[in-house]
Structure 1
Amino acid sequence: MRKKLPLLLLAIMPLANFAQSANSKSSVHPKKQSVKINAKPSLSYAPAAYCMPVDLECNDGDLITNVTVAGINNTTTCSPNGYGDYTATQGQIQEGQSYPISVTVGDGWFERVSAWIDFNNNETFETEEFLGEIGSGSNMQVSTLTGNIAIPSTVTPGSYRLRVMVAATGSDNPAISDACYDESYGEVEDYTLVVAPVAPTGCLTATNGQYPAATFTPNCNGAVGNITTVAWLNEYSKVNVIAGTTYTFSTSVNTYFITIGNEAGTAVLASGTGSVTYTPTANGVVRFYSHLSSNCDGTSSSHTRSVKCGTPPPPPVEPDYGCDQTYSGVPDTAHNMTKNLASATYMVANDFFVPKESETYKLQSVKFDIVSQAAAGASDITSYDVKILADSGSNTPGTTVITTMTGVTPTNLLTLPDTFASLPTYRITLDLGNFELPVNAANDTKYWIAITGTSASQISSYWIGYKYTEGWVTSSNYQSADSGATWTQPVSTTTPGLHFDGMMMIDAECATAAVSEAGAKEVSFYPNPVKDILTINSKKTIETVHVYNIAGQKMPVPSKLVNGKLDMSKMAPGTYIISTILEGGKNESFKVIKK
């Protein structure tokens, strides 16, 4: 005869409500006419880990004797304090699948079995992680209760804790839904369920061997690189890869099956049809297989195996619409290399803008980079012709010539550190003599500056290329409307010639009108950007000038202009606010960039 305290004792026990936590207690589910009394005070703590039952009693037949699920088949006896830690025992599961579970219980009084899985691994069994009751309970006899547990399709690979609980609830009470409940006769056992990554399947057969024999190294510049255009099926190519870089492997036939394997050809790393993306975790070599289908078939059908990685070079730097304008990067339709429309000689042209805010705009100099094949280097190129052209309206130079400067000799020749095809490169500076361009007050005006060699021997072997961060390269696609087919000349190692870069740096002097809050133009200033001396003109007398940095701090400069000049030579590069107080107290402020 079991000795359990009468239910009458409950009447003399105080009832208390405590805040819910991982250790909070659910209401008591008494056994038939008897219940276990917890004489210890109930305290509520924030859990540092999974709640562990400390006051369950399983030595009266209210115990778990076997749990079988997902490869686990564990036979046990009553655990100390009603808790058994079997997390070292693991079962294998997959997301989106359902698994049968059976729990064998003792001959206790009206046993019901509950189960939980901590799917978010936060060490708390939450309401949505309750799997419900396993089976429909037992009545004072050893029973095996069965059911199914469903694994959500969103569960990621990893390890998850499974909790199984048996409790004597009584015939009219539901299964326990609180995973931390420990005020009853029963037992809790914890296990580990593991969601393993799905191993990729693929084809590592290659009856046609390796082709080509050399290992391919992608440029990783965002462009597709053809490993071979005469690939066969049931064949592989080797590719050098870099850790952390994403590679896209593809075939010219989008129905072919692709497998990416390790260098030895013993393990599948990724697979798919038509195109496969793979990111290696270590530097090394991979095999790129192509087959007719996932059946690893196919023989000699010719196709292309390609790989792509990295991002394209950044687009050209947009014009800054100021006096100093620098163009670098890959030329496009707005940074053209073209043919001199007037004289049919070769030239390189870049666009630049005259800001609509300007009162005057004067070209001071232009810098550009060249490669020289002449025996004496760039010093053999004695002069250049410079043309300023109107825009065509289609992002190309127009036929209208604003001005022509012939026979301009370099004012500076700088040898650059990089070379092209073992040939020296140079930066040339030409003085343009403060040529003033028309200003359109309504819109920014696009002009083109074109540089042309003046020697017939130089022009005869022109090759026009461009340079960006990875070095000097050629590209007929950026040279003329007909893709360079009629006039592009190859690099010659014997004939002297001039080779232009697609980068130009234009220095100009802008006189920009300052506009007051009321919109009236009383003050003009130039140049902007300024190197040393800023000239400020006004229709009214300028009484005082103050200069502030972008943070609003006043700069230590004289408050009076000297012959309309403000000395900014000792100021750090940056943006400054020039505040002028005019005769009559009117204030006009404007921004200036200090170089």
Structure 2
Amino acid sequence: MKKILSIALFSAALSAFGQTYCIPAFSNGCGGGDEIDSFTIPGISFNHSDTGCSNGAYGDYTSQTINLNAGVVYPFNITHQYGTQKVRIWIDLNNDGTFDETAELVGAASSTFTTINSTDGAIAVPAGASPGMHRMRVATRYNVEPVPCNTAGYGEVHDYSVNIGAAPGCLAPTNLSVSAIGANSATLSWTAPSSAVGVGYEYYISTSSAAPVSTTPASGSVSNPAAGTSLPNLLPTTNYYVWVRSVCSTADKSGWSTSAAFRTVCGTVTPNFTFDFSSGINECWKQADGGTPATGPTGTTSEWYESGFLNNGYTGAMKMNILTYSFNPATFNSWLITPTFNLSAGGYRVSFDYGLTEAYDTSAGTLGSDDLVQFAISQDGGTTWTVVKTWDANNSPSNTANQYVLNLTGYNSADTKFAFYATNGAVADASETDFFIDNFVVEQNVLATSEATAAANTIKAYPNPFSEVLNISNTEGVKQIVITDAAGRLIKTVGNPATPLYLGELKQGIYMIILEMKDGTQKTIKTVKK
């Protein structure tokens, strides 16, 4: 019996490799990064790495045998050095020396330009595949689906040997799908396999597309006959991948299924929250191109776009170019709207950096006669708006980093939104300016010592020299002010200070204005009385 079996396997191998297969080619080769740099099948620990671009864009690796089973789906990963790849995998199931483009296609996947170095997919070995040795062809091509005997484009092909075994007794579920996707949860469902599932199912969820292996601990489990489960404790606006396997008995588990991918949606933010626009805005920010704060926004686009703050570079802030053409006096009303915030706990503040320059320049600019930028707040999810700050021709911001801070006293809605509204008006002024915002923060209005020290360092005394009146730029965090002469002799103490300070009684000379802060720190400002 063993002798007969050996002869049969030898005959199958001879049949598989005695054929003359076409040698594919790519007219543009694979030297530009369109190669199969590594090919892995994690579920069976197959890893063929660092192969680079083969001579002639074809690698014959049939000396390597990959063991697969009929009726099983095997996740795979291929890395490249350039994106937008189309991957196709065929197995010559009837060992006739050709790869049928449709009937013998067992894997297909694509990458995008943003997933530049990786393509993930799955090899689905047909349940009726003949056991024994076969040839497998793995092909990648830039932006176009390859064919088994490819001749054109950029890409590469690898050939391998596969030994197909009988279908296992415990099969993985199929047809995974994810529904009811929220900010923090989703619902997963699947189709049960034909094999008997005595115990239930295990699932594995990850933010990485890397497939689990047999020893990977499951994220959760459900008992048979359940064909789905909820996925709790997820993060908003996050990409997830999930796999399922059958637990046919305590000693018999299937391989992991192919993955289902999904992205959670935006959720209500409970501060603290910081957004630095390092990649522009995400889907939780909205834009609108019509309406005013009095009527509310309309539309879904606007003139706001990503740029470098104060025209330094091209990324990391949001910018509005404000101009009205005399030959085309179209008025725009552009909105940039934040995610929704839950401020019901109270005690928050909002802050952001802003500035204004000449258009596409770093020099100072001035808003036109009817140009307008406003910062507004809604406590009903964006239906009605209250303007809390306006910039126009009378108070054009400087071309340096300015910071706006607002204590959100009285703003306690769980449905709060903020918005930046800009309009160019109808008057064709000569000015053309760029308005910028950056580093948007909503946080608890409690200063740590280091923050309070930093805040104190921004306090200024003016005018300096002074005659009768001395102004302190911000006394909110000041407990008292101590005034001494140049020799350190105490002249005057002002408790719970307000500004301005009336110091006309002081003689001419140098005075030290010592700000004793509520957090115990101090700041000393040297002044001159004229």
Structure 1 length-normalised TM: 0.29
- Structure with higher Rg: it is 1
Q: Choose between structure 1 and 2: higher strand proportion.
A: 1
Structure 2 length-normalised TM: 0.31
